[in-house]
Amino acid sequence: MLNSSIGRKLIMALSGAFLIIFLTQHLLINLTSLIPDNGKLFNIISHFMGNNPLVQFVLQPVLIAGVIIHFTMGMYLEILNQRTRQVSYVAPSGKSGASWASRNMIISGLVILAFLIMHFYDFWVPEMVYKYVEFKPLDENRYFHELQEKFYNGGVVKVIMYCVSFILLGLHLAHGFASSLQSMGITRGPIQVVTKLFSIIVPLGFITIAIFHYIVTLYNH
């Protein structure tokens, strides 16, 4: 499949579609932290997701594999594009018909990858240490407080980094989602409108969450 142009694009499309599903689920869960119930629903869902064996030992490794496959294939395709066209994917000037997002997919992708590493370090690593290194007792009420403290302790610089990363995520999605559908033969219809709305709503949702919790914790402290 790697030797076929269609096969490579299909791998990118399928891995991208999988990550889009994860983004949707991740956003919906985190949006519950905005509900004025002192984090009750967010804590319930987070506790379930964080202690469900299916999620932890099946879906989580699959997610990590999906991220690795998508970014590895993206870099591989970028190298092939440079070799075949002798021009970098991001090199054409703005005079070409391509959008900024399509011409700079590799840049936005690398920034998003850097953000994911930072995000894993902020949230996933401490969670793994809490459960599998320190073996602390289960506490189903800790998640909401920990979420707010992460944004507060990171300061305004960390919030800005999150927001910039989400903006680039939106640009990446705007082109990548449409390209994935095109690779699967879907080029027309309402789904194209959905992709544009998705690339706006998802980053905006995450930005809202980050800014909201930073402002709330800043006020409470």
Task: State the pLDDT at residue 187.
Answer: 65
Average pLDDT over residues 82-90: 58
Contact 8, 76 (CB under 8 A): yes
Task: State the pLDDT at residue 204.
Answer: 97
Per-residue confidence band for 96, with pLDDT thresholds at 50, 70 and 90: low
Residue 91 has pLDDT above 80, yes or no: no
Average pLDDT over residues 83-96: 53
What is the spatial distance between Cα 201 and Cα 221, in angstroms, rounded to a whole number?
Answer: 30
Residue 118 has pLDDT above 50, yes or no: yes
Q: How far, rounded to the nearest angstrom, does the alpha carbon of residue 12 sit from its chain's CA centroid?
A: 15
What is the spatial distance between Cα 213 and Cα 188, in angstroms, rounded to a whole number?
Answer: 39
Domains and CATH numbers, the chain: 5-89+102-220 (1.20.1300.10)
Contact 71, 65 (CB under 8 A): no
Per-residue confidence band for 77, with pLDDT thresholds at 50, 70 and 90: confident
Residue 95 has pLDDT above 60, yes or no: no
Mean pLDDT of the chain: 86
What is the spatial distance between Cα 107 and Cα 126, in angstroms, rounded to a whole number?
Answer: 28
Distances 10 to 4, 61, 210, 216 between C-alpha atoms, Å: 10, 21, 33, 43
Percent of the chain at pLDDT > 90 equals 53
Average pLDDT over residues 87-107: 62
pLDDT in tens, 138-176: 999 999 999 999 999 999 999 999 999 999 999 998 888
Contact 15, 74 (CB under 8 A): no
Contact 11, 73 (CB under 8 A): yes
Residue 56 has pLDDT above 70, yes or no: yes
* Least reliable range by pLDDT among 62-71, 155-164, 188-197: 188-197
Nearest residue to 98 via CA among 88, 90, 110, 108: 90
Average pLDDT over residues 44-55: 95
Residue 136 is given by DSSP the state: P
Q: What is the DSSP string of 150-161?
A: HHHHHHHHHHHH
Q: What is the reported pTM?
A: 0.85
- Please state the three-class secondary structure of 28-62 as a single string: HHHHHHHCCCCCHHHHHHHHHHHHCHHHHHHHHHH
pLDDT in tens, 19-28: 888 999 999 9
What is the spatial distance between Cα 99 and Cα 102, in angstroms, rounded to a whole number?
Answer: 5
